[in-house]
Amino acid sequence: MTPRLLIDAGNTRVKWAAVSGRRWLTRGEAGYDELAALSAQLAEGVRVYVASVASDAQIARLQAALASADIRWLESSTCFAEIENGYASPIQLGVDRWMNLVGAWHRVRGAALVVSAGTALTVDALNATGRFIGGLIVPGSELMRTALRQGTARVEPAGGGCRDFPVTTADAVESGIVAALCGAVETQYARLAAQTASRPPRCLITGGDAGRLLPHLRIAVEQVPALALEGMAYVSEEAERI
């Protein structure tokens, strides 16, 4: 089986996995200024698949690290296996969100809320038949802090903790951010659950801020750190057959 190098190129970091068939060989993660370990994965015969939402400058760094590779750029599609993309314009759905949805469906095979907590928070809903019925995009925690820092004169947005009733400004900021992010997840979960009353939906969460939200969510949530890569593994495996 020809080995494949899967690369999930996000807004701030790159995650990768080397796979052979459905067997995972190794995984890694790095910032865009530290891609040497990724370059080391380029053994002879490895096919490279990239799902990217990165900026042009970050893509240039990634391409430099993969200079010897034949890169296959993945995109969102109207469907994959049993999964149907219900976006108004399916190709405009972020490829990271699509790969998360593919990975989630192969884990759950039923209704699921798919949450990615990174630079932005995305909250996407799969119904019981595998149709993506829509989702939210919310500024992530650091974007919210930046907005407060830039838009207010006397609010220090750093260094706080999450409290039920904050009595310091720093705690109020952190608690407000967590409440906003968790509220988006819980609201969408309730909406999806109302459509799937016979069997409650599962909730999967991925992304660098997942650990920040997990203690505060009031629904059952499963953390899946490499969810997009799992989706990429299925999509790239199918591409190898074509």
Phi, psi (degrees; rounded to nearest 5) at 170: -60, -45
Calculate the alpha carbon distances from 193 to 106, 219, 230 in Å: 20, 11, 25
Q: Which helix (H) or strand (E) holds 29?
A: strand 23-31
Give residues with Cβ within 8 angstroms of 105, minimum separation 6: 81, 82, 83, 112, 126, 130
Of 96, 124, 164, 209, the active-site residue reads: 96
8 is catalytic: no
The C-alpha atoms of residue 236 and residue 191 are separated, in whole angstroms, by: 32
Six-digit token pair at 156?
């220090």
Supply the residues annotated as catalytic: 96
